Structures are given as C-alpha cells and as structure tokens.
Amino acid sequence: MPLVASDLDRTLIYSAAALGLSMPDSEAPRLLCVEVYEGRPLSYMTETAAGMLAELTDRCVFVPTTTRTREQYRRVRLPGGPARYAVCANGGHLLVDGEPDPDWNAQVRRGLAGCAPLEEVCAHLRGASSEGEWVLKQRVADELFAYLVVDRSRLPQTWVKELTAWAEPRGWTVSLQGRKIYAVPGPLTKSAAVAEVARRTGATYTCAAGDSLLDADMLLAADEGWFPGHGELAGSGWSAGHITALSERGVAAGERIVREMRERTGTASRPTAPGPGPGDAPGPGGGTED
C-alpha cells in the first residue's frame, strides 16, 4: 500500500482564524469539527475533505505527521478512525496504535547528542524575548524542542532572522508558523519517522503535504507532495521539482490536498507507464528517507 504523510495544522485542519474563507457566507463550505479543546471547537476541515480522507485511509497507510505533542495530537479526531501510525513532536515520537514506541524515541534522543542542549536554547529564548511584550507564552514540547507563542503585530521584524543566525551554529533550526516560533534540533525531523513507518510497512511509494519549513525535509524525501498557497513554504518561495505549490489557501487548500492524495493513491500501486528500457537513463527518483 502507498504511504501518505501529512502535516495537520494549516495543512489538513484549520482553526477558525485560519479558515481563509473569502466567499459570501451563503456559499461557504460546510465544515466538520475535528478537534475540541476545553469544551470548545478548535479545528475544522470541510465535510468534502472529511469524506475523501475517510476513503483515503482505506487505500493507504495514512500517517498524521505533526509538531504537536502527543497530548495535543490526541485531541484531534480525524475521519477514518485512529491512524495505526502517527508522528508527533516533529519526529520525536512515533505512535503505534496510539502508544509511543520507546525504541524510536531512544534512537531519536541519541541523534540529538551533537546539538546544543535544550536548556541552553530555552535560556536564550527567555533572554532574547524579555525586552518586549510580544511574547505571550514560552513552552517546551515533550522535552525535545521549544516554542514561543507571540503577538505577530508586535514581533520585531528582524527577530526571527537573528534567532536563526544564533541557532544554526548550535545545530538547531527555527520556523515561524502562525503565532508560534519553533526552535527545533536539526536532527529532529519528520522525514526520519516517516521513513521508519515506510520500512515497517513495506511502502515503496510515499506522498506528503505540509506548509512550513519544518515539513520541507518530509516533502523532499517523498515521491510526490503538495504545499498550500499560504504558510512558510509559500511565503519563502521554497520549491522542489516533484512538489506542487497549490494556489488554494486556507481550508480550501486542505480539501485540495486530500483530493490530490486520494487521486494519486488510487493509481500509485499500479504502473502508469512502461519503465525505461535498456540503456535509458533513469528518471528523477523519489523514495522516502527520514
């Protein structure tokens, strides 16, 4: 079976603030709530996307792949039922039937030995952000990485660039997603965890979707992929030959992504054209690693 790996927030599911509905209310798509937090609806997808996702999970290995912690991920109720495999904490945890795989987490933590310790990064974030009122919260995710929740209207224009310049020599990457600024160890990747799922399931074709620079490694490792017309990848001009930049934004992009995935997985396991003959140069290859 093909493997489909997808980021969640602002890729498949959307908060009310991120829906991006630009049509009259009478023409807006019907929405399905897929996450409730503290008794209130939090995240949505269109009912059309929900129906297609339920079909998709029957024909592929579907892997939700998120920077969310395990606790945050477990609030999400996607159509098609619980996924057999899920990736949380940007690859730090591989859930199998809802439970973290301890061997995978131990392997991940060994790989972080060459990076600056989390405590040093947290201290820098506290010091660098203490001068303004634009930091609303500072959090640590599963003792693996840190992030800030910020007021984007007050965020100094050069602050993320300055943080990136400080973090890179220490083996950390920085990503701005909506109201959150993430600082993540470089070896902590979604693509590594997705590759492990492909190894375990025997999947030989992988497609992926995401909206941020933290998704870029997963997209590059996939055979095919998509990112929406909003978000960090679209805003930075990021591109790759086998990845499609969609024009749709907001929840409409989520629906388009599920449609593309459903169509591709309907034919992914069957050859669509003859392979190269003797002496022919191989075409551009995909393959999953992470």
Coil, strand or helix: which one is 174?
strand
Q: Where are the domains of the chain?
A: 3-111+187-268, 115-185
DSSP string computed for 28-92? PPPEEEEEEETTEEEEEEEHHHHHHHHHHHHHSEEEEB-SS-HHHHTTB--TTS--SEEEEGGGT
Q: What is the pLDDT of residue 1?
A: 86
Cβ pair 188, 87 in contact under 8 A: no
Cβ pair 201, 3 in contact under 8 A: yes
Cβ pair 273, 280 in contact under 8 A: no
DSSP string computed for 216-241? HHHHHHSSEEEE-SSHHHHHHT---T
CA end-to-end distance (rounded Å), the chain? 19
Q: How far apart are CA 73 and CA 6, in angstroms?
A: 13
Q: What is the pLDDT of residue 178?
A: 84
Q: How far apart are CA 90 and CA 20, in angstroms?
A: 25
pLDDT, one tens digit for every residue, the chain (290 residues): 899 999 999 999 999 999 999 889 999 999 999 999 999 999 999 999 999 999 999 999 999 999 999 999 999 999 999 999 999 999 999 999 999 999 999 999 999 999 999 999 999 998 877 767 899 999 999 999 999 999 999 999 999 999 999 999 999 999 998 889 999 999 999 999 999 999 999 999 999 999 999 999 999 999 999 999 999 999 999 999 999 999 999 999 999 999 999 999 885 444 333 333 333 333 333 333 33
pTM of the model: 0.86
Q: How far apart are CA 224 and CA 287, in angstroms?
A: 9
Q: How far apart are CA 66 and CA 242, in angstroms?
A: 22
Q: How far is CA 128 from the centre of its chain?
A: 27
Residue with tokens 């297609």: 52
Q: What is the pLDDT of residue 267?
A: 52
Coil, strand or helix: which one is 134?
coil
Q: How far is CA 207 from CA 96, 185, 281, in A?
A: 20, 24, 24
CATH architecture of the domain formed by 3-111+187-268: 3-Layer(aba) Sandwich (3.40)
Which residues 6+ apart lie within 8 Å of 120 measured at CB? Answer: 170
Q: How far apart are CA 260 and CA 1, in angstroms?
A: 17
Question: What CATH number is given for 115-185 in this structure?
Answer: 3.30.1360
Tell me the two tokens of residue 6: 């997808």
